[in-house]
Structure 1
Amino acid sequence: MKNFVVYKSSAGSGKTTTLAIEYLKLSLAKPVNFKHILALTFTKDAANEMKKRILHYLIQIIEYQKGNQLDFIFNPLIAYQKKLQKIEAEEGKQRCIEEIQKQAGVLLKLILHSYSDFAISTIDSFTHRVIKSFAHDLGIAISFEVELDADNLLKTAVNELISRIGDENPKLSEVLLDFSLHKIGNDKSRKVDDDLKALAKNLLDDVKEEFLVDLRKLSIEELLQIKDQVFAEMKIFEGFVNREARKAQKLIKSKELDCKNFYYGKGNICNWFFNLAQSNFPEKNILPNTHVWSSIDDDKWCSGKADEADKAKIESIKNELKEHFHLLNDYIEEHVNNYLIFKQISKNIYPLVVLNEIEKLIFQLKTESNVLHISDFNKLIAQAISGEPAPFIYERIGNWYRHFLLDEFQDTSALQWNNLLPLVENSLSENNLNLLVGDGKQSIYRWRGSDVKQFVHLPNLLNKPDELSLQRERLLKENYEERNLLTNYRSDEQIVDFNNDLFHFIRNSNWLSDDTKKVYDEINQTVAKGKQNAGIVDIHLLDEKDDEILEDTLLKSVEKALEEGYSYRDITILVRKNNIATAYADLLIDNEIPVISSVGLRVSSSAKVKFLLSFFQSVLQEEENIYKIEIIRYLLQQQMLGENTLNNFHRLISELMSAKEGFSAAFYSLLNQNNYSIDTAKLNRSDVYELAEYIIRIFELNMPDPYLQFFLDVLHDFKRSPYVQLSDFMLWWTEHEKDIFIELPNGLDAVTIQTVFKAKGLQYPVVIFPIT
């Protein structure tokens, strides 16, 4: 019998049911042994769902009466017990059921009396338990606390780093000052803390660990040398491209020609030269497109709308333009790959220089506070078991747990799998059953290190550099059995057929790697009974990328579902990113459609709330012009300071920057000129709630707005606390804004808006997916 069984599933194929029945097969064979089975999944919700499912099936078995439809549970249990000779092969079905019912009664009692031994948990919970048990052996304090909030840890470390700027840390001060100036030069906020935190997240990432090992060997001085080299190489490339492109631009201008006179509108050769003549030319426009090549190869130079005089001018310079093109293109083709790499490095080079310093501070913070971040778990275990055929920290665990059931394997990181391998190896060597379940198409935790390749290549192991890994791979191969769950019990026939066709198309495309194509092997699902001739997939192909058309189509899709008898709660709208969820939540609210969205209804996502917060910051930090610039940007977006154009924005900012009376005085003067009369003395006298009401009244923000109203409620509650100053509120808000949402009543009949990531494993009668 093969003991390393891998189930390959698809959405709706009964994965949880399969796992629950496999658990029951093992535990009912000898109920007292349920405590020797360890099932691991990825989320607490999934672990709780599996526990509930197993207990529910046990109760169904115990309460079974003849005629009930429980063959899907009893048949595999009877077959397994006969294989183990727990039940005589010739025994009748009813007699078998009665025997299994007795075992189920015993098992349920054992689980309820020893619930802590009902070992179904997340991988993180399991590793936490291991580390807690072997804290002394691993060289850590037994009383350590677990830090789940990476943002809090990173924020504290980055703030500590910035606080060290000064004469005692000249190199650090130089780097952070240069970084701030670099950001301003690229039209970005001078604040550097967000960028530092974003890159520092890599310090908590399993996958990045191998790259960080090399980075740790470099000093700040060495990293600064690399930074200088990167910018020098970029400058050489940009300088050459600018010079040559400007020669072509000068030639075109000398003939008083406009780019619209050239073949193929915005994508033409004239615009290609003009784009590259800019100091900060966009990366996406460096290489010539097919329309540019049409001018060179097919002699297509003139727009159909160009008059004869302009055509003659273009004809007179096209050979010179060709020379400029070839000189420029030859240089670009030779150097562009290196340039694009340097360009990507340059975007993070400053945070990279101080990354080692941030890591030291994080380590110091964790040591002083006696905490471990959850990302430390797998690293600690990996270090303890490295190169050990029988790692000491697993001796007791391996002797206790005999069967391992691993769910959502496609989302397991390489480090997690390597840490679990010794346990699986030990179990297989004792002839015990081990199960893995996964669906490569649903691998969504790449940001946490998941590697779908290790699932699709099973029983082979990726990155097996030593004899120990090869030995484990041989054992997996000897015991390997693959099973496919091919029936879709969730979706109707039309949806299943559509998915089959789509996956078949993807599988046979030529734009996917072989590894990715393997994900779509053996995925032709069949339809469950009762699901035939039902379901619909409705695709709208929009002629152009237009937000208004997309929004109108979205609203009509909701209306159509309601007309067909569905309620709001039956509908979900899937989005790719959180900011899109916010935009669609606003759209539906504006059209009086009730909405539920954990992200879209975050109070801080409201443009009006952001405007108020910018005003608060401008009052608190009078010398920081960035907040006043954000206020101007909002007023322009709302057409409250003239036309919302980039030129108008730059003009206003330039005028304020050069004003004799100073930026701040000129800013308030600009508002007064546009009938927004601000009493600056009142700004500093008011408490936080009064200040908000004052700004709302001045800028006429008091239209019905649930976000703004909820924000005012928050301010009103804060006003009653002992800390009523604006600075107190902003400090509190910074800590809590991510957790403040518009509150909705339970059981609300409303459309749900959520990201694809959050929707994994859920189901709705109506799913709308507006792809932009």
Structure 2
Amino acid sequence: MGNNIPHSLKEIIKHHKFPHLLLLEASAGSGKTEALAKRYVWFILAEGKVPHNDISNILAITFTKKAAREMKQRILEQLKKLALSKHVAIFEETVEQLGIPPEELQSLAEANVSRVIERYSDFQIQTIDSFMARVARSAALELDLRPDFEITMTYGELQHYSIALMLRQVGSGRSREITAMIDQFLDLLNQLARPNFIWNPELELEKKFSEFLGVESKEIGNLVFEDRRNEIQQCRETISQIYEAVKALPLPKKEKYVEKFDNVLKRGNIGEILRRTYSQHTVPVRKGKGSEDETELYESAEKEWLGLIPVVGRLATFDSLSRCHAYGEVYREFKSMLQSVKLRTGVHHISDISKILNQYLDEAIVPEIYLGLGQRLYHFLIDEFQDTDPVQWASLSPLLYESLAKDGSLFLVGDLKQAIYMFRRADYRIMRGLVQEVKGEISSYQWLPPSVRNSAWVDTLGKNYRSGEVILQYVEEVFKNNLKDVLGKKEFQRDLTGLTDFVQDPTPKMKGKGYARTMRFVKGAKEEDEADTAPERKALLGIINDVLNRGYRHRDIGVLAAKNRELAMIVDWLITANIRASASSSLDIRKRKIISEIIELLKFLESPVDDLAFANFILGDVMARAAASRGIKLDSKELHQMILDKGNTGRGYLYQTFRKHAESNTLWEEYFENLYQKTGYYPLYDLVSMALRAFRIFDNFPEESGSLVKLLEAVNILESKGKNSIQDFLEETADEKTELFNLELPEYADAVRLMTFHKAKGLGFPVVINMIYESRPPSNSTYYDKEGEKIRVHYITKDLAKKSPDLAKIYERRVIDNQIQHLNTLYVMCTRAKWELYNLVILSKENGLLGTLFKERELGQKTEKEKQDEPPLPSPTPVKLKHGTEPDKEWGRDEGWSYTRWVDAKRGEVYHKILETIEFLSGPSGKKMTDIMDRCPAITQTPFDSEQIRSDIESFLSCSEVRGWFEPLPGRTVFREKEYVDKSGNLYRMDRVIIDEDEVTVIDFKTGELKDYSEQLKKYMHVLGEIYPDRKVNGYVAYVDSSRVEEIK
């Protein structure tokens, strides 16, 4: 194998070992990201030494956007260091590996910094999902995708819509096939759920279908729901026959047992049959008196009875499959609906993309993919390799195989001990299998490409750059000693990820440094009553205060726990104790009081009959401070009384009571009236901006400016997806899984960081406090067994697995996976600390796995840090919403349409139609007017007095000022009912525009009462002034029926 050949980049270049594969087995804190960044930098610097080393030919894949940003930053930092100084550690190492003279290396690094910045779009450091989406877009037509398809991160909306469409076809007068299918499904579902009853099957469907989609998206193949009811019946008959045969033997019966088993067979309940024990002790007959004949008969009976064991095993397997068959037809119909919805909306889940590509990609099609991408990839660098799932690996494989068949390379970095995403179907076995194949530990090949079987190596990153030596010793004691002691026992059958044999050495500056302590608390019945009296709370607060008193800052401390609900409890503890804290879950702006009040306001605007939403808003801080800014003091008691009185009367709606109330009427007109009228007319972003400005929320809550800007950003993102209504926004706020409303905590924020163990992966803190609560893995009786491209769905319990060897294998696999994930998570949380590590272990029993691993222990010495004067934290940036974020048109209260107003409007339309037909007047106006009146349909078909209209028009055109607008002067151009658009896109239709050589005149014809139309004419004049900047613009309002002309200045 190639792993015996020197494989540093220097040796690879010297012996031109391209293609090749290098896999780095890492541990926590060993510099995985640094190694990847360094590899990338060396490749792009090695001109003429590494083939195809242009940045467009190299792809680095990470598993989170944050990791991608960090890697880009590291690469640019390393290039800048090389360009600016010869006295950095990486400089000598780069000279050694690439054989480039120092003076050339600096200029080369500087040129590459410029190259990366100038061609940033070719700087390909991205998540695997982003890359797959990019490949899919380049081949959208071949994949039967719309060119403008969108990607969603959650199935929620697509799934909910598809299920709703399917269920809409259920019922009388609708689809008979689907109605019958759903009826059968509900019968089967309730049979399986006995003695419980499924009251809301739609929720059950959504839950299970979400799980099924998640499995199919991460595994190669499709779910298979097998109906084994015929086989179940055959097994029942066989059991009955054997039982009756044994019972018929001339031997004494075990009367009670026989009676019970007779009833079991009579009821035919599979669960009861499987719960029975089939062994030498449960043979339904006795040995008798011990004669030779009776002994032979009994041995025969015992043999027959024990022959039931394999039959019962098959029955258990068939029952396991058939219990899930109820979902089969419904799931297939749902997937058909889901596919239709995807095609119609052009929205696809991110996991669909990899699945589609996996079915489409092979090595023969790769050149076409590169043609679509506009570039060819030769070198792949993959981070967190242990978290790759089967579909991702299968989708990447054709690209990897193609590059490794030429002068390409594959650089993989992973740590099996940090495989903690198996609940997302990530499969550590891919990395483990590849390591074994490269090392020659197994003779067959599943993962290693043939082209690099003689140039593939596994290397180890053995240094720890994060933690002090004492912390490393503590971690080794927990896993290499305590865990190793239970190896092979029930708690820990096999070490499949290297938790008991890893090696890590500290850096010289970290030798002898660090502090670690384990504190154990055993839950007692009395201690569970109140979380605030829990002993771990007192210990946690004591540790944090001690750490702060020794010079550490709040942001130096990380508090980690397994679940968000545990973090929520801990956040409350810290805030109550006046300790600044921020949890990843608390960075959701929807949990901010001010944002929740704005959401209540939008609920009211969407549905004014929602009294609860209106009450929540007027009783909140936004309303109180807005009123106070106007010098109005809101009396909360009076508001509460108003709400109670309205509730007692039961008449009308709360907002109507508020609007009519003498003291609150002013508030309604000041704050609500404008918003209330414009809801439904304005886009969502404009409406939210108006609300923020109306209630002066940015001014009154400057400390919330970050959350408010994030709210506007979220609205803008939704609008870009075509979700423009308040209802769309409210549906998004109700989605618990969406990350649209999450803020990123700025680095300078001085607060204790709280996050889950999973979120902490890849991060480090000077001080880490782990809150380790003993809990069971989540229970789920649905299991999956893959055979080829079939993924069979089983219902398995622990007792059922004992009846069938086949089910036992499937069950044991998940047990092992849960065990590995749990232990790996413990390893991850123990390796986040730099100087001090505290493990607070809350046990339900002392002799469990956690009790074995974490014994009371204290190692090392705490350190004092010099308190540094920190620069003051930046004040919130004042945010002012400019006017102009809403349409220019004013929407005042409509005065209402009376009959008189309607008649005046219709008469005005007639006057406009007549004047629109006149370009110029020549000769006596009367003669011209006669021709106009005779030909104009507006006058011949009018229900009004035509003679009165004739008289009004003649009088109007006889005015000297008016007549001048209709004279045919040299160079004059006249536009009638001309439409103009201003620079903001607003459309204006002007009655008459006269373009002369040195001036422009706009006339607006009116009828009826004299009103102030100056603002309207000024807008017209402003638009014309921008179009004709070298000419004077005149504006007039002309009342046709009264022959009055008003000039607008």
TM range (shorter): 0.5 to 0.7
Kindly tell me: are residues 532 and 116 of structure 1, through their superposed partners in 2, closer, same or farther at Cα, counting changes over 3 Å? same
Instruction: Pick one of 27, 30, 33 that aligns with 1:16.
Output: 33
Deviations 1:288-319 (A, max 9, x none): 9xxxxxxxxxxxxxxxxxxxxxxxxxxxxxxx
Q: CA deviation at 1:24?
A: 0.9
What is the aligned counterpart of 1:214 among 188, 207, 224?
Answer: 224
CA contact (8 A) 2:26 2:415 kept: yes
Q: Deviations over 1:89-140 (max 9, x none)?
A: xxxxxxx332211110110111111111111111111111111112223333
Higher RCO (CA-CA < 8 Å; seq separation 6+): 1
CA distance in 1, matches of 2:24, 2:341: 43
Give the whole-Å Cα distance in 1 for the aligned partners of 2:556 and 2:507: 22
Alpha-carbon spacing, 1:376–1:485, altered in 2? closer, same or farther (3 Å): same
The one of 163, 167, 188 equivalent to 1:158 is: 163
Bigger drift between 548-557 and 479-488 goes to 548-557
Q: Which amino acid aligns with 2:464?
A: N
**Cα drift, residue 741 of structure 1:** 8.1
Which letter maps to 2:338?
I
Asked if structure 2 preserves the Cα contact closer than 8 Å seen for 1:61 and 1:104, the reply is yes
Residues 611-666 of structure 1: per-residue CA shift (max 9 Å, x gap): xxxxxxxxxxxxxxxxxxxxxxxxxxxxxxxxxxxxxxxxxxxxxxxxxxxxxxxx
Distance 2:38 2:743 in 1: 40
Q: Which AA in structure 1 matches 2:754?
A: I
Matches of residues 364-383 of structure 1 in structure 2 within 5 Å?
Answer: 364-383=340-359
Indicate the structure with greater helix content.
1
Change (3 A) 1:204 1:687: farther
Partners in 2 of 1:226 and 1:686 — Cα distance? Answer: 61
CA contact (8 A) 2:79 2:113 kept: yes
Alignment check: 8 A CA contact 1:572 1:752 kept? yes
Shift of 1:372: 2.4
Higher strand share: 2
User: 2: distance between equivalents of 1:728 and 1:111?
Assistant: 40
Deviation per residue, 1:176-200 (Å, 9 max, x gap): 6447856996557722333222221
What is the distance in 2 between the residues matched to 1:124 and 1:414?
14
What TM-score comes out, normalization by structure 1 length? Answer: 0.62
* Residue aligning to 1:488: 464
CA contact (8 A) 1:5 1:483 kept: yes
Corresponding letter in the other structure for 1:138 = L
Say whether the 8 Å CA contact 1:8–1:438 is kept in structure 2: yes
In 2, the alpha carbon distance for the partners of 1:556 and 1:351 equals 49
Which residue type is aligned with residue 133 of structure 2?
A: H
Q: Provide, for residues 588-625 of structure 1, a one-character-per-residue CA deviation record: whole Å limited to 9, x for no partner.
A: 4455544422336879999xxx9xxxxxxxxxxxxxxx
Secondary structure of 1:136's counterpart equals: coil
Count of aligned pairs: 570
1:627 counterpart residue number: none
Describe the SS at the equivalent of 1:149: coil
Distance in 2, Cα, partners of 1:144 & 1:388: 25
Do the aligned partners of residues 397 and 569 (structure 1) sit closer, same or farther apart at CA in structure 2, a change above 3 Å counting? same
Structure 1 residue 536: Cα displacement: 2.3
In structure 2, the residue matched to 1:519 is 498
Matched, 1:562 2:564: no
The Cα shift of 1:751 comes to: 3.4
Q: Mark the CA change 1:81 to 1:132 in structure 2 (over 3 Å): closer, same or farther.
A: same
2:61·2:381 contact (CA, 8 Å) conserved in 1? yes
Aligned-residue offset at 1:333: 8.4
Q: Closer, same or farther in 2 for the Cα pair 1:731/1:491, shift >3 Å?
A: closer
In the TM superposition, what are the counterparts of 1:739-750 in structure 2 within 5 Å?
749-750=750-751
- Which segment drifts farther, 336-345 or 26-35? 336-345
What CA distance in whole angstroms lies between the structure 1 residues aligned with 2:588 and 2:649? 30
Question: 1:23 Cα shift?
Answer: 0.8
1:261 maps to: none
Q: Match of 2:771?
A: 769
Q: 2:132 matched to 1:127?
A: yes
Is residue 85 of structure 2 the alignment partner of residue 76 of structure 1? Answer: no
What is the rounded CA distance, in whole Å, between the counterparts of 1:281 and 1:585 in structure 2? 46
Deviates further, 758-767 or 14-23: 758-767
Match of 1:752 in 2: 753
Check whether the contact 1:4–1:476 (CA below 8 A) recurs between aligned residues: yes
Quickly say closer, same or farther: Cα 1:553–1:737, change in 2 above 3 A. Answer: same
Q: In 2, Cα distance between the equivalents of 1:114 and 1:488?
A: 35
1:400 aligns with 2:387: no
For 2:74, the aligned partner's letter is: R
CA contact (8 A) 1:588 1:595 kept: yes
Match of 1:529 in 2: 508
Q: CA deviation at 1:738?
A: 5.9
Task: Pick closer, same or farther for the CA change 1:229–1:368 going to 2, 3 Å.
Answer: farther
Once the two structures are TM-superposed, the CA of residue 152 in structure 1 deviates from its matched residue by 1.5
Question: For residues 230 and 590 of structure 1, what CA distance do their matches in structure 2 show?
Answer: 65
SS in 2 for 1:30: coil
1:557 deviates by 2.4
Quote the Cα distance in structure 2 between the aligned partners of 1:185 and 1:43: 43
For 1:581 and 1:12, how far apart are their aligned partners in 2? 25
- Unmatched tracts of structure 1, length 5 or more: 88-95, 237-245, 252-278, 289-325, 463-467, 611-676, 692-709, 718-725
* Residue of 186, 191, 194 corresponding to 2:200: 191
For residue 773 of structure 2, give the secondary structure of its aligned residue in structure 1: coil
**Bigger mean CA deviation after superposition, 424-433 or 102-111:** 424-433
Give the structure 1 partner of residue 488 of structure 2: 510
Deviation at 1:404, TM superposition (A): 1.0
Q: 1:7 aligns with which of 19, 24, 28?
A: 24
- 1:188 to 1:579, Cα distance in 2 relative to 1, 3 A: farther
Distance 2:469 2:656 in 1: 56
Paired AA for residue 503 in structure 2: N
Change (3 A) 1:743 1:185: farther
TM-score (ref. length: structure 2)? 0.47
Root mean square deviation, CA, Å: 5.1
Larger radius of gyration: 2
Q: Distance in 2 between matches of 1:124 and 1:729?
A: 26
Matched, 1:170 2:146: no
* Counterpart Cα distance in 1 of 2:651 and 2:514: 61
CA deviation vs aligned residue, 1:401-458 (integer Å, no higher than 9, x gap): 2211111111111222222223323333333332111111111232333211111221
In 2, Cα distance between the equivalents of 1:8 and 1:403?
19
* Whole-angstrom CA distance in 1 between matches of 2:728 and 2:81: 57
CA contact (8 A) 1:7 1:436 kept: yes
Which amino acid in the other structure matches residue 142 of structure 1? P
Tell me, what secondary structure is at the counterpart of 2:519?
coil
Letter in 2 for 1:767: I
Tell me whether 36-45 or 516-525 shows the greater mean CA deviation: 516-525
Cα offset for 1:43?
1.0
State the Cα distance separating 1:40 from its structure 2 match. Answer: 0.9
Amino acid at match of 2:25: K
Q: Is the 8 A contact 1:58 1:108 kept in 2?
A: yes
Percent identity among equivalent residues? 26
Q: How does 1:243-392 map to 2 (within 5 A)?
A: 350-386=326-362, 388=364, 392=368
Check 1:545–1:531 CA distance in 2 against 1; reply closer, same or farther (3 A cut): farther
Q: CA deviation at 1:336?
A: 8.5
Q: Of 153, 157, 162, which residue of structure 2 is paired with 1:148?
A: 153
Q: Find the partner of 1:101 among 97, 106, 122.
A: 106
SS at the partner of 1:524?
Answer: coil
Which secondary structure state, in structure 1, belongs to the residue aligned with residue 769 of structure 2? strand
What's the counterpart of residue 442 of structure 1?
418
Contact 1:569/1:751 (8 A) holds in 2: yes
Change in CA separation of 1:17 and 1:604 when aligned onto 2, cut-off 3 Å = closer
CA contact (8 A) 1:503 1:523 kept: no
Question: SS of 1:38's equivalent?
Answer: strand
Q: Which residue of 1 aligns with 2:520?
A: 541
Cα deviation, residue 489, structure 1: 0.7
1:153 CA displacement? 1.4
In the other structure, the counterpart of 1:203 is 213
**Can you list the C-alpha shifts for 1:651-690, whole angstroms capped at 9, x where unaligned?**
xxxxxxxxxxxxxxxxxxxxxxxxxx99987789665999
Q: Which amino acid aligns with 2:459?
A: R
Shift of 1:740: 9.6
The 8 Å contact of residues 166 and 334 in structure 2, kept in 1 or not, is answered as yes
Corresponding residue to 2:81 among 60, 66, 77: 60
